[in-house]
Structure 1
Amino acid sequence: MGHSSGIGVLDKAVQVLRATAAAPIGLADLCAATGLPRATAHRLAVGLEVHGLLGRDELGRWHPGSMLAVLAASAPDPLLSASTEVLPRLRDRTGESVQVYRPDGMMRTCIAVSEPASGLRDTVPLGARLPMTAGSAAKVLAAWGDTATQRTALADGTITDRMLAEVRRRGWAQSAGERESGVASVSAPIRDRAGAVIAAVSVSGPIERIGRRPGARWAGDLIQASDALTARL
């Protein structure tokens, strides 16, 4: 997000793809989201549609195309492999549900989960797309995200600049009843080999069991897990 390859037409095409990630989008909104001239945005979107990277709904709005799923399914994902190793240990240590979230346009997607064998769970379905405006994982991704991500996270006032500064200072975030009433969570960043934050690992559960400040109990365990995930990347 926000990176430049030095190949202008490629970077513009990726801008168009990213703009469709959150919801189907028409040409006017596509121009507003990308800053591209109308003719350029239309030409790129139609070209991406020809190759199956974009599709259109019944209103003519563009959305991610089926070829993206085909390509993604064939690509190895080291973060998923690392999550398979690390998440069960974090789940067993905390006794709670654990997830990994990856930024997905102006949303976040749950790409890995590990649930306890029994007891009341905070079940986030694999593949669920959640808003960037609430929850500890959203705070982590926004704290180290680009300007557009931070602007989205701050949009409704649940997350503030002061909160994001605190997350960066201590290295983790927590929330209680923000995304869903009665649910609390704590999250930490996962970094790539260059140090950029690419995902967040979370522990979540009912407030009545884990309290309104779960970071006091599990921040240390969570950071160990995030370090383990980072090391495997």
Structure 2
Amino acid sequence: MKRGRTPPPEDRAAAPVGRGVLQGAFLLLEELARAGDAGLTDLAAGTGLPKATAHRLLDQLAALGAVERQSGRYRIGAAVAHLARSWGTHHPLGRAAVQPLRRLSAATGASVALAAPAAVGRRMVIVSGVPGPADEVVPHMPGLILPSGNAADVVISASRPPVAPPPEFSPAEWARRLSKVRERGVDLHYDEEPGAVTCLAVPVYAPSGRAVAAIGVCFVGHRLPSAATADAARRAARMVGENLARLPRTRRL
């Protein structure tokens, strides 16, 4: 029987098997969703995968159309974009948010998105949105997993039982931020770097009264949203909640 090449010891130790293969592939997809596009070296560093493993998985993802490769750089492929759009379209929140998000976009001229807690872990994932100027900095595409401690994460956390804060916050800092949200009903997040995105988020409540999602209104730069913008976001959130109540019970959250 013809024997294949025996991989070096470091490759054998690092090569993911079974569930690890899927984990490695999703790590790469998440990193591409965060970065937009990236080279092999940056993707390996960002995911913690060995370079040889990352290259092998990227080749497999490219063959499936989940990743596109051009001039030595990678980006999310059409197959993943199609699945993400389908997920958002059929998700109860996605159905309930179509018109409210369009009206909010028209009223503010901003990038708007609706995010909900991921099925696993505490991260927030975008369900649907309407593109705007901020998408040139951070594309708010359906399926994008948001970094922990973002404005959507904060408004959801403020309405739920206490849990450990994200790693980038001390317990005191996290408690102060949640307290402000409970007082104002909104959270405002901005990055101090030039050209960064400022985002205002408000909670969306299900018919049960439980906060199940957040609507974000995002601007480029350190522009502080006006009171009118906050009011428009709250109206959109109420409309989403009302639309959820109209869905058949079997399709609600």
For the superposition of Structure 1 and Structure 2, which TM-score range results when normalised by the shorter chain?
0.5 to 0.7
Name the stretch that deviates more: 124-133 or 196-205: 124-133
Name structure 1 gaps, 5 residues minimum: 1-54, 64-68
CA–CA distance in 2 between the matches of 1:202 and 1:89?
13
Identical aligned pairs, as a percentage? 24
Cα distance change on mapping 1:124 and 1:162 into 2, 3 Å: same
From 212, 231, 237, give the equivalent of 1:220.
Answer: 231
Using the TM superposition, give the Cα deviation of residue 179 of structure 1 relative to its aligned residue in structure 2, in angstroms: 10
CA–CA distance in 2 between the matches of 1:139 and 1:198?
12
Computed over aligned residues only, the root mean square deviation of the Cα atoms, in angstroms, reads 3.3
Which secondary structure state, in structure 2, belongs to the residue aligned with residue 130 of structure 1? coil
Check if 1:157 corresponds to 2:169: yes
Cα distance change on mapping 1:179 and 1:138 into 2, 3 Å: farther
Tell me, yes or no, if the aligned pair for 1:172 and 1:186 is still in contact at 8 Å. yes
CA–CA distance in 2 between the matches of 1:116 and 1:97?
4
CA–CA distance in 2 between the matches of 1:100 and 1:128?
11
Which secondary structure state, in structure 2, belongs to the residue aligned with residue 160 of structure 1? helix
| CA displacement 1:99-122 (0-9 Å, x = unmatched) | 001011221101101014999665
Using the TM superposition, give the Cα deviation of residue 190 of structure 1 relative to its aligned residue in structure 2, in angstroms: 0.4
Cα distance change on mapping 1:181 and 1:143 into 2, 3 Å: farther
What corresponds to 2:156 in structure 1? 141
Which secondary structure state, in structure 1, belongs to the residue aligned with residue 146 of structure 2? strand
CA–CA distance in 2 between the matches of 1:179 and 1:140?
23
What corresponds to 1:45 in structure 2? none
CA–CA distance in 2 between the matches of 1:129 and 1:157?
19
1:133-212 equivalences in 2 (<5 Å): 133=149, 135-148=150-163, 151-153=164-166, 155-157=167-169, 160-177=174-191, 182-208=196-222, 211=223
Check if 1:109 corresponds to 2:93: no
CA–CA distance in 1 between the matches of 2:168 and 2:104?
32
CA–CA distance in 2 between the matches of 1:179 and 1:146?
33
| CA displacement 1:182-219 (0-9 Å, x = unmatched) | 110101000111110000001002125xx1x3254411
Amino acid at match of 2:190: A
Tell me, yes or no, if the aligned pair for 2:207 and 2:241 is still in contact at 8 Å. yes
1:17-166 equivalences in 2 (<5 Å): 56-58=19-21, 76-104=90-118, 105-116=121-132, 122-133=138-149, 135-148=150-163, 151-153=164-166, 155-157=167-169, 160-166=174-180
Task: Normalising by structure 1, report the TM-score.
Answer: 0.60
Which secondary structure state, in structure 2, belongs to the residue aligned with residue 129 of structure 1? coil
Task: Normalising by structure 2, report the TM-score.
Answer: 0.56
Cα distance change on mapping 1:173 and 1:59 into 2, 3 Å: closer
Using the TM superposition, give the Cα deviation of residue 147 of structure 1 relative to its aligned residue in structure 2, in angstroms: 3.1
Which secondary structure state, in structure 1, belongs to the residue aligned with residue 143 of structure 2? coil
Amino acid at match of 2:130: S
Amino acid at match of 2:243: R
| CA displacement 1:74-110 (0-9 Å, x = unmatched) | x953211111121111001000100001011221101
Cα distance change on mapping 1:122 and 1:92 into 2, 3 Å: farther
Tell me, yes or no, if the aligned pair for 1:173 and 1:215 is still in contact at 8 Å. no
Which secondary structure state, in structure 2, belongs to the residue aligned with residue 221 of structure 1? helix
What corresponds to 2:243 in structure 1? 232
